[in-house]
Chain A
Amino acid sequence: MNPFAAILVRDMRLAVRVGGGALMGAFFFLIVITMTPFAVGPDLALLARIGPAILWLGALLASLLTLDRLFATDHDDGSLDLLMMGDIPLELTVAAKALAHWLTTGLPLVVIAPLLGLMLNVDMHALGWLTLTLAAGTPALTFTGLIGAALSVALRRGGLLLAVLVLPLTVPVLIFGVAAANAAIAGPAPFGPAFTILCALSLASLVLGPIAATAALRHGLE
Chain B
Amino acid sequence: MELQAEGLTCGRGGREVFRNVSFKVPAGEALIVTGRNGAGKSSLLRMIAGLVRIGAGRLSLNGGKTDTPISEQAHYLGHQDAMKTSLTVAENLQFWTRFLGSRSDSSPALELLDLAPLADLPAIYLSAGQRRRLSIARVVAVSRPLWLLDEPTSALDVPSQTRLAEIMRSHLAGGGIIVAAAHGAIGLERARELKLGAA
Chain A positions within 8 Å of B, measured between CB atoms, are 1-3, 5-7, 9-10, 13-14, 17-20, 77-79, 81-88, 221-222
Nearest 5 A/B pairs, CB to CB: A78-B80, A6-B98, A87-B101, A17-B86, A78-B82
Residue of B12, B96, B98 touching A82 (CB-CB under 8 A): B96
Chain A residue with the shortest CB-CB distance to B138: A82
Bound complex: CA of A5 vs CA of B83, how far in Å?
A: 18
Interface of B is mostly: loop
CB neighbours (8 Å) of B105 from chain A are none
CB <8 Å contact, B95 and A6 = yes
CB <8 Å contact, A85 and B71 = yes
Chain A residue with the shortest CB-CB distance to B49: A85
Residue of B12, B85, B99 touching A86 (CB-CB under 8 A): B99
7 A-B residue pairings within 8 Å (CB atoms): A6-B95, A77-B83, A82-B76, A82-B100, A84-B51, A87-B101, A88-B101
Interface size class of B (residues with CB under 8 A): 20 to 34
CB <8 Å contact, A221 and B52 = yes
CB <8 Å contact, B98 and A1 = yes
Query: What is the CB-to-nearest-CB distance from A97 to chain B, in angstroms, rounded to a whole number?
Result: 12
CB neighbours (8 Å) of B80 from chain A are 77-78, 81
Query: What is the CB-to-nearest-CB distance from B187 to chain A, in angstroms, rounded to a whole number?
Result: 24
Residue of A9, A14, A87 touching B72 (CB-CB under 8 A): A87
Interface of A is mostly: loop
CB neighbours (8 Å) of A19 from chain B are 85-86
Q: Is B74 an interface residue (CB 8 A)?
A: yes
Query: What is the CB-to-nearest-CB distance from A46 to chain B, in angstroms, rounded to a whole number?
Result: 44
CB <8 Å contact, A77 and B53 = no
Bound complex: CA of A18 vs CA of B122, how far in Å?
A: 11
CB <8 Å contact, B87 and A10 = yes
CB <8 Å contact, B86 and A86 = no
Bound complex: CA of A90 vs CA of B80, how far in Å?
A: 20
Query: What is the CB-to-nearest-CB distance from A27 to chain B, in angstroms, rounded to a whole number?
Result: 19
CB <8 Å contact, A3 and B98 = yes
Q: Given contacts A6-B99, A77-B80, is CB(A85)–CB(B72) below 8 Å? A: yes
Bound complex: CA of A47 vs CA of B124, how far in Å?
A: 47
Bound complex: CA of A14 vs CA of B95, how far in Å?
A: 12
CB <8 Å contact, A81 and B49 = yes
Additional A-B contacts beyond A20-B86, A81-B78 (18; CB < 8 A): A3-B100, A3-B101, A10-B84, A10-B91, A14-B86, A17-B87, A19-B85, A77-B84, A78-B79, A81-B76, A82-B76, A82-B96, A84-B51, A85-B100, A86-B99, A221-B53, A222-B52, A222-B53
Bound complex: CA of A3 vs CA of B99, how far in Å?
A: 4
Bound complex: CA of A14 vs CA of B91, how far in Å?
A: 11
Bound complex: CA of A47 vs CA of B8, how far in Å?
A: 66
CB <8 Å contact, A81 and B86 = no
Chain B residue with the shortest CB-CB distance to A78: B80
Q: Is B35 an interface residue (CB 8 A)?
A: no
CB neighbours (8 Å) of B84 from chain A are 10, 14, 77, 79
Chain A residue with the shortest CB-CB distance to B81: A78
CB <8 Å contact, A18 and B81 = no
Specify which of B83, B84, B85 lies most central, judged by the most chain A CB atoms within 10 Å of its CB.
B84
Query: What is the CB-to-nearest-CB distance from A81 to chain B, in angstroms, rounded to a whole number?
Result: 5
Query: What is the CB-to-nearest-CB distance from B50 to chain A, in angstroms, rounded to a whole number?
Result: 7
Q: Given contacts A14-B86, A77-B80, A222-B12, is CB(A85)–CB(B95) below 8 Å? A: no
Q: Is B13 an interface residue (CB 8 A)?
A: yes
CB neighbours (8 Å) of B85 from chain A are 19
Bound complex: CA of A221 vs CA of B87, how far in Å?
A: 27
Chain A residue with the shortest CB-CB distance to B84: A14
